Amino acid sequence: RRAKEDAKKFAEELIVIFKGRVRATRHSYPAHPEIERHLTHSFPYEETPDQVQALHEIHNDLSGEKPMDRLLLGDVGFGKTELAIRAAARVAYAGKQSALLCPTTILADQHFATFRERLKELPIKIAMLSRLTPKGQAKREIEKLRNGETDIVIGTHRLLSKDIHWHDLGLVIIDEEQRFGVRQKEEFKAARNKYEAKS
């Protein structure tokens, strides 16, 4: 009986979140042709037709005024991270923050290194948070998130902690989303609703 009651309560919470998402609007994230050309030319690989199409669709979504909900599928090495980098860069240039949620610290480390390398010539501030981040450093990074000094944060479940407060969250990317529970993902969606509502 208790499990049934918990499931019903959670379903009601999901309905509230989904209703909010349907009604939600936000400012569009405009294109920055120079930045996009820079990222295209500095990409060390040839873009595949699927990458080009996915990027076009993502940019179209970001140009609109409705929140984007998109599932990107592809095998390892097919360039999903590059698309995440370009989307997060566009959001950063619109003055909003992006969060990349990873299931493991190792994966978060890898993404952090890749994001820093790809965006090193752009004035975009990137941070990482995980359970292995030293307390003093974590405290400083959380403060930078709160006051808007950080544009992109990459992390593990640590990003779901109650002490995380966003300055202006604009994009959430969940890597290997099948490895997160429904409640964890919906917590992030609830956070997006709150920040989109005040945008």
161-189 residue pLDDT tens: 889 999 999 999 988 765 555 555 566 65
> 19 falls in which pLDDT band (50, 70, 90)?
confident
pLDDT at 187: 64
Q: Which helix (H) or strand (E) holds 187?
A: helix 182-198
> Helix 105-118 vs helix 80-93: angle between axes, to the nearest 10 degrees?
60
pLDDT, tens digit (0-9, with 9 covering 90-100), for 34-85: 999 999 999 999 999 999 999 999 999 999 988 888 888 887 777 899 999 9
pLDDT in tens, 2-17: 888 877 887 777 777 6
Residue carrying structure tokens 């699927």: 50
Q: What's the whole-model pTM score? A: 0.81
The Cα-based distances of 62 to 27, 41, 183 in angstroms read 9, 21, 25
Could you read off the pLDDT of 101-127 as tens digits, one per residue? 998 999 999 999 999 999 999 999 999
